[in-house]
């Protein structure tokens, strides 16, 4: 996730790693220094930091990203939203937070062979 062809480190790679591991302090520092990183995606799957936080259940990081104006309906390469990934991985806290942030429950992934619906 987020690897480039170069061996040198990048702010993007550091952000994706920090998001995945729930390192809120590093995420906050990187976004304060480089605010545009919030809109970056991984090279192949086009996962945003929000996708990574949602799939890994990193609720504090997810909240920080949403507070930083991350789009809750951003799509990855498979046309999946962070809400879809949170639901598929059973990350209920993240599902609830994304719904509170206005995530659209009507998006349908063309690569998922079942209807995506959330019932509460």
Q: Is residue 119 part of a domain?
A: no
pLDDT band at residue 38 under the 50/70/90 scheme: very high
Give residue 38's domain range.
11-100
Q: Is residue 4 part of a domain?
A: no
Q: Is residue 2 part of a domain?
A: no
pTM recorded for the entire structure: 0.82
Q: Is residue 113 part of a domain?
A: no
Radius of gyration of the chain (CA): 14
Q: Is residue 96 part of a domain?
A: yes
Q: Is residue 114 part of a domain?
A: no
pLDDT(108) > 80: no
Query: What does residue 43 show for φ and ψ, rounded to 5 degrees?
Result: -65, -50
Per-residue pLDDT of 58-83, as tens digits, reads 999 999 999 999 999 999 999 999 99
Predicted pLDDT of residue 109? 59
Predicted pLDDT of residue 106? 87
pLDDT(33) > 70: yes
Q: Is residue 25 part of a domain?
A: yes
- The total of structural domains in the chain comes to 1
- Measured between alpha carbons, how far is 101 from 82 in angstroms, rounded to an integer? 12
pLDDT(45) > 90: yes
pLDDT(117) > 80: no
CATH of the domain at 45: 1.25.40.20
Per-residue pLDDT of 79-102, as tens digits, reads 999 999 999 999 999 999 999 999
Q: Is residue 95 part of a domain?
A: yes
């Amino acid at each position: 996730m987020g690897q480039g062809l170069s061996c040198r480190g990048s702010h993007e790679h550091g952000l994706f790693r920090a998001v995945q591991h729930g390192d809120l302090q590093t995420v906050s520092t990187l976004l304060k220094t480089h605010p545009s990183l919030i809109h970056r995606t991984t090279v192949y799957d086009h996962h945003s930091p929000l996708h990574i936080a949602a799939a890994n259940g990193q609720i504090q990081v997810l909240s920080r990203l949403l507070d930083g104006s991350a789009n809750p309906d951003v799509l990855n390469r498979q046309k999946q939203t962070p809400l879809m990934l949170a639901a598929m991985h059973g990350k209920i806290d993240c599902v609830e937070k994304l719904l509170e942030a206005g995530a659209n429950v009507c998006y349908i992934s063309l690569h998922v062979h079942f209807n995506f619906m959330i019932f509460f």
